[in-house]
Amino acid sequence: MARRKDIVAIVGAGKGGCMILEMLLRSPSVEVRYVYDSDPEAPGMVLAGKHGVICSTNTTFPELWGNKKISVILEVTGSEAVFRALGGIKAQATSLIGAWGNRLLFDMLASENRMRARLEEYQGKLEELVTQRTKELQHTNVELTNKVTQLAEVNRKIEELSRHKTQYLLRSTHQLKAPFAAIQSYTDLLLGGYAGELPGQAKGVVERIKQRCDTLSTAIHEMLQLASLQTEESSDANMRVQNLNVLLREVVKDHQVLADAAGVTLELRQEARNVRARYCRARMHTLFEVLIKNAIDYSPAGTTVTVSVSRKDRQAVVQVRDRGIGIRPDAKKKIFSEFYRTNEAAAKVSEGSGLGLAIAAEIAQLHGFTIRVRSTVGRGSTFSVSMPVHTQPRKRKA
């Protein structure tokens, strides 16, 4: 059953009211039904008229008198007299937000606008850059058919493009952190009662803004993490020989609460014990964390996620197996690509950046390890990570 939309009325359609109206018109959970202003040519009145919203210059607000269908009235004029008048005519269940609360909302919306503009600018420039470089490489590849000596130059250009993209991503994402932190601070202030107790409907709106902030914060963190991995040439500085079983026990324990909350059984099968391999502990912790969290997220309640470690010849093999939604055959080749999510994954878990498996693949590549996936739609997936086993030399008898 679809959620009922919040009905909103805006009093004051100047520049600030127009910006708030513009943002609310894009929200699928809000219906702006009335806009009031003494000036029929105010920008908000013009915009409302274009979208079929009822506009009125009647400052007695007859449509608002005891109207129980209205969820929130936004008083944007800043007039104390208007605020008192609205408070006297509104229905008891209708929330009334005055100029101070609207200023905070205005600041949050303005910050969101700036952030969206930067993201769109970055996306456009990146797509333009990739398209331009792709055309150059396609033209070059035709000429390289019988020119083996030029292959090194082509590889250099590809690497340069990748570095340029990664550096641009790092800079752009860092620039997003400051305005994004401001949005999070505003929502925390509102929810913490700094502006007074929020009316019911207004509190729900701010809570939804905070939820979106948390999702975007995770995406920004993952973008920075992926960009950092892509600028590394190897993990040699932090690699050492370690016990793989100990690391897996730690990661499985860290995700036990998440599995319990999802109604999923999480088990560790140590088919081989005291398996030692050379790796960066922090990086491999992240890799296994991605695989295990994905397995839990995409598994139905009542099923089991199995993490196993075994040895085959001179290779250690770690497998994460679930009984979840599975992956289509045509999607397997793209599953480790940046920002890629299947339609089935998006339907199961709506929030997600599509960067987790790309991060896992980058970590495996830095170590020289192999990561693979086997999957059947509707029956689950098995992700495998293979790495060389480190054997300690036997001590010679005296």
Q: Where are the domains of the chain?
A: 6-97, 104-230, 237-388
Q: Which structure tokens are listed for 239?
A: 């690699």
Assess whether pLDDT exceeds 70 at residue 151.
no
pTM of the model: 0.48
pLDDT digit string (tens) for 328-364? 888 888 888 877 777 777 777 656 667 788 888 888 8
Please give the Cα distance from 87 to 368 (Å, whole number).
Answer: 67
pLDDT of res. 331: 84
pLDDT of res. 11: 92
Residues pairing with 388 in the sheet? 315
Please give the Cα distance from 155 to 235 (Å, whole number).
Answer: 22
Assess whether pLDDT exceeds 90 at residue 250.
yes
CB 249 within 8 A of CB 360: no
The least confident of 124-133, 179-188, 358-367 is 179-188
CB 100 within 8 A of CB 79: no
Assess whether pLDDT exceeds 70 at residue 215.
no
Percent of the chain topping pLDDT 90: 33
Query: Between 144 and 343, where is the model more confident?
Result: 343
154: confidence class by pLDDT, cuts 50, 70, 90: low
The CATH number given to 237-388 is: 3.30.565.10
CB 188 within 8 A of CB 195: no
Assess whether pLDDT exceeds 60 at residue 134.
yes
pLDDT digit string (tens) for 278-305? 998 888 888 998 899 989 988 999 999 9
Query: Between 375 and 230, where is the model more confident?
Result: 375
pLDDT of res. 167: 58
Give how far Cα 140 sits from Cα of 135, 144, 148, Å.
9, 6, 12
- In degrees and rounded to multiples of 5, residue 294 shows phi and psi of -60, -45
Record: fold of 6-97? Rossmann fold (3.40.50)
pLDDT of res. 200: 74
CB 110 within 8 A of CB 25: no
- In degrees and rounded to multiples of 5, residue 173 shows phi and psi of -65, -40
Whether 6-97 shares its CATH topology with 237-388 is answered: no
CB neighbour list of residue 94: distance below 8 Å, 6 or more residues apart: 67, 68, 70, 71, 72, 73
Please give the Cα distance from 308 to 269 (Å, whole number).
Answer: 5
Please give the Cα distance from 236 to 216 (Å, whole number).
Answer: 32
Please give the Cα distance from 170 to 229 (Å, whole number).
Answer: 11
pLDDT of res. 322: 93
